[in-house]
Amino acid sequence: MLRTGCLLFALFSSSAFAAVPSVKVLIAKSLNNVVVEGMDLRKTIHTHRRSQQYNGRKTISFNCRPGPRKLSMRQTPLLVASLSSPTGLISWGKKKYQGELQLLSDSQSKSCDLVNSIPLEAYITTLLAKEMHGSWPVEALKAQAVAARTYAFERLRKPISSRLYDLESSEKDQVSGTFFDATENTLRASKETEGEILVGPTGKISPAFFHSKCGGKTLRPDQVWGGVEEGYRSVNCTFCQKTGMKDWNGKIRNTKLVGMIDRVLKKYYSDNISDSNIKIMPDSMANSELRLYAGDRLHIVKKSYLRNLAGREVLPSNNFIMSMKNDQVHVEGQGYGHGVGLCQLGALELAKRGYDYRQILSFYFPRHKIKTAYHQ
Ligand SMILES: [Zn+2]
């Protein structure tokens, strides 16, 4: 049951920032050339000594090899050029972006990476259409907005000096959209939660994770990645059961599983499998680890590590059971995605039933609170 009477959320703004921060999102990698278009484009070329600015173009082309090599003697990725327009919009191919596009050279200066520097609220507005859908109920989108904003904000607070961007637009971080992906609902969801992020029970900003469909229960970060994040709980979620990917199953050859287990042991446990004669111990959905004997030696491995190696086609989620029948391993699973934090299809169902975004977030993040991190 959803605990509607136990909302732990509080809205406070004592430590709010004055302005909306910008986030740098990697949108494309390893480009040989880049052509951007816009009105009255402003181009700033960055060299290791100075910056030169050019104004008034409609189209700007870059040959990414070997040009950027001449710009610097440094052997690390570096900012080659910044591109913007007084209109606030700039096009790369058929995609239109808000904010600024930045060209980075790779460490060997053989190609370019493209980064979009964009105000965080505009980023959230377009992201919602990709991570959920622009037509979904506003309260589901608002829950996603707070989670995605928290994820991005946490990265902004912990920049990595060797990296010239904060996030990737991919499933590795979160998938962002472009200007035309925004809808009336995504704009509302971003506006009505402006600056709001999740904090843990002690006020610490913790990364707010989300996934497509938990399939029955969410997982804690430590069950999937090993690191402990403040305030997470595994919650039973029945709200996603009727939508999205159905319960799934598959078969893996014994010999293939032996190879997978060996790679997991080497990569994550500094160990290896010593006997290819394996026996899987009785498993259940409640177990986030698989127990198996290789010969007479017991190995315990995280199911999520197996999924990392096997891929999403073989293991769509971390909620699965493995069992052995003859020379094959049978897998039965539920859901899609890593299973930590907000269940997107569960949030959709809750919003359809009339729950607001605070209730949705308090269900999936029962010990977290909402805090306003900045104002427009
Ligand atoms: Zn769910």
pLDDT at 47: 74
What confidence category does residue 205 fall into, taking pLDDT thresholds of 50, 70 and 90? Answer: confident
**Whether 343 contacts 319, CB under 8 Å:** no
Ligand 1 centre from 236 Cα, in Å? 8
pLDDT at 66: 62
What are the structure tokens assigned to 79, written together?
A: 């900012």
Domain ranges of the chain: 33-110, 122-240+344-372, 248-334
Question: Which pTM value belongs to this model?
Answer: 0.86
- Cα–Cα distance for residue pair 175/146, rounded to 1 Å: 15
Ligand 1 centre from 248 Cα, in Å? 15
**Whether 57 contacts 39, CB under 8 Å:** no
User: Ramachandran region of residue 337, left (φ > 0), alpha (ψ -120 to 50) or beta?
Assistant: left
Q: What is the pLDDT of residues 304-356, one digit of tens each?
A: 999 999 998 999 999 999 999 888 999 999 999 999 999 999 999 999 999 99
Ligand 1 centre from 313 Cα, in Å? 20
Share of the chain above pLDDT 70, in %: 90
Ligand 1 centre from 174 Cα, in Å? 19
pLDDT at 361: 98
Q: What is the pLDDT of residues 110-156, one digit of tens each?
A: 788 999 999 999 999 999 999 999 899 999 999 999 999 999 999 88
More confident residue, 365 or 17: 365
Give the pLDDT mean for 81-91. Answer: 93
Q: What is the pLDDT of residues 101-111, one digit of tens each?
A: 999 986 666 78
Give the pLDDT mean for 174-194. Answer: 91
Ligand 1 centre from 108 Cα, in Å? 44
Residues with C-beta atoms within 5 A of ion ligand 1: 214, 237, 240, 343, 346
Ligand 1 centre from 44 Cα, in Å? 47
What confidence category does residue 257 fall into, taking pLDDT thresholds of 50, 70 and 90? Answer: very high
Ligand 1 centre from 335 Cα, in Å? 8
Ligand 1 centre from 325 Cα, in Å? 30
Ligand 1 centre from 218 Cα, in Å? 7
Q: Count how many Cα atoms sit within 13 Å of the Cα of residue 80 in the half-sphere of its side chain.
A: 28
Ligand 1 centre from 232 Cα, in Å? 15
Give the pLDDT mean for 272-288. Answer: 92
Mean pLDDT of the chain: 88
Q: Which residues contact 327 (CB under 8 A, 6 or more apart)?
A: 253, 254
Ligand 1 centre from 344 Cα, in Å? 7
**Whether 333 contacts 319, CB under 8 Å:** yes
- Tokens 């100075």: give the residue: 50
Q: What is the pLDDT of residues 63-74, one digit of tens each?
A: 887 654 454 445
More confident residue, 350 or 59: 350
